Amino acid sequence: MASVTFKNVCKKFGEFVAVNDFNLEIRDKEFLVLLGPSGCGKTTTMRMVAGLEEATFGDIYIDEDRVNGVLPKYRDVAMVFQSYALYPHLTVEDNIGYPLKIRKVPPAECKRRIAEVARRVELDSMLSRLPKELSGGQRQRVALARAIVRTPRVFLMDEPLSNLDAKLRTQMRAELKHLQHELQVTTIYVTHDQIEAMTLAHRVAVMNKGVIEQLGTPREIYNDPRTLFVAGFIGSPPMNLIPGEVRDGVFVSAGLRVGGIGQANVSRAVLGVRPEDVHPTDAGDVDVNLVAPIYSAELTGENTLVSLRLGGQLMTLRADKNFTGQIDQQIGVKVATDRVFLFNGETQDRVD
């Protein structure tokens, strides 16, 4: 078991800076998710821990050991790739047992440990199959079993669920969560899927353009986003981000007016409010924040997502499943003023 520490790590590819002055300490037994859009440097960061990329500057430690320059095989990490990277000519049993074989674990002990992990990921009836005879989900489980057949110091998982269909992904997510609870191994998990990040992580590092925008528990990141980028990236459907201005403590944009903002005047402001914190009401109510026509209403089963026209953009709210409003109908909207976030449109930082 181990901690992983990045100290001022920078990775350049030629002149391009993929990871910039990266500082992070991942605690022993922690499940840390690197979350961010494509190209923000997540995979590169993880590959530096594995030893598949070398940092251009800075230091990486696994526990007290500085691992810069240490060959991957001596770092004692296990990596699960998005592509699974199974050996096509080896059976499930031999794929799972590969890390043991190269460490010269005696055959009887190998067999015992393979049987044990295969049972755990429900592959025990498929040990003699080849990867091409498996479904995507089964292959993914082989890759996972190969990683957990021995106990490395650190697990590195690079979008391991991204090739699965939605249903299987949800199922495997729950399995990973359970496994994490049982194995208690320090894990770095890369994803651009914010639901995976929210459900699996102890802490999430939200990355943007090679730097950490915010580090915190899923709850902190969701309830207290510090920048516009984080606010817009976490949450589904995403937070409404409405440009406007604050005048005498009232946020104003197109027909929307929200008081009690806590700032007197901000000329370029962005108001952030999540769809679940915007509530439909009668257009005639005295304290509506907005009256606007319905652009679309989609019943998702559990609730109804309603989009309203607001100036040149749409504002989304989550109404209940019995919402009956029709397209083009004018409705009133109340915003939960204690749940709004105010950002400076220039610096992109929170100002409330």
What is the binding site for ligand ATP (CB under 6 A)?
13, 16, 18, 36, 38-44, 192
Residue in this structure with the two tokens 């991942």, named with its chain if needed: 26
- Rank residues 36 and 244 by Cβ distance to ligand ATP and give the closer one: 36
Q: In the chain, helix, strand, coil percent, each to 5?
A: 30, 35, 35
Q: 9: closest CA among 67, 56, 79?
A: 56
Nearer to ligand ATP by C-beta: 192 or 318?
A: 192
Q: Which helix (H) or strand (E) holds 251?
A: strand 250-253
Q: Name the minimum Å distance from CB 196 to ligand ATP.
A: 12
- In angstroms, give the least distance from the CB of 76 to ligand ATP: 23
Q: How far is CA 352 from CA 111, 165, 216, 261, 305, in A?
A: 59, 40, 19, 8, 27
Pick between residue 230 and residue 310 the one whose CB is nearest to ligand ATP: 230
Task: Tell me how far, at minimum, the Cβ of 227 lies from ligand ATP, in Å.
Answer: 18
CA dist., res. 191 & res. 82, Å (int): 10
Smallest gap from residue 34 Cβ to ligand ATP (A): 8
Strand order across the 330-335 sheet? 278-281, 330-335, 290-299, 303-310, 313-320
By C-beta, is 44 or 289 nearer to ligand ATP?
Answer: 44
**Angle, CA of 22, 25 and 26, to the nearest 5°:** 120
- Listing DSSP states for 91-111 in one string gives -HHHHHHHHHHHTT--HHHHH
Q: Which is nearer to ligand ATP, 193 or 220 (CB)?
A: 193
The least distance separating ligand ATP from the CB of residue 189, rounded to whole angstroms, comes to 12
Please state the closest distance from residue 19 (CB atom) to ligand ATP, in A: 7
Q: Which is nearer to ligand ATP, 4 or 340 (CB)?
A: 4
**In angstroms, what is the minimal distance from the CB of 333 to ligand ATP?**
36
Nearer to ligand ATP, 164 or 271 (CB): 164
Q: Which residue is nearest to ligand ATP (CB)?
A: 43
Nearest-angstrom CA–CA distance, 210 and 16: 10
- The backbone region for 146, taken as left when phi is positive above 0, alpha when psi lies in -120 to 50, beta otherwise, is alpha
Q: How far is the CB of 69 from ligand ATP (least distance, A)?
A: 18
Which residue, 38 or 324, is less far from ligand ATP as judged by CB? 38
**Between 60 and 242, whose beta carbon lies closer to ligand ATP?**
60
CA separation for the pair 211, 136 (Å, rounded): 33
Q: CA-CA distance, 171 to 19, in Å (whole number)?
A: 32
The rounded distance, in Å, linking the Cα atoms of 194 and 314 is: 22
Starting at the edge strand found earlier in the chain, the sheet holding 186-191 runs 77-80, 154-158, 186-191, 31-35, 203-208, 211-216
Would you tell me how many other CB atoms lie within 10 Å of the CB of residue 299? 12
Which value, in Å, is the radius of gyration of the alpha carbons in the chain? 24
Nearest distance, CB of residue 92 and ligand ATP, angstroms: 27
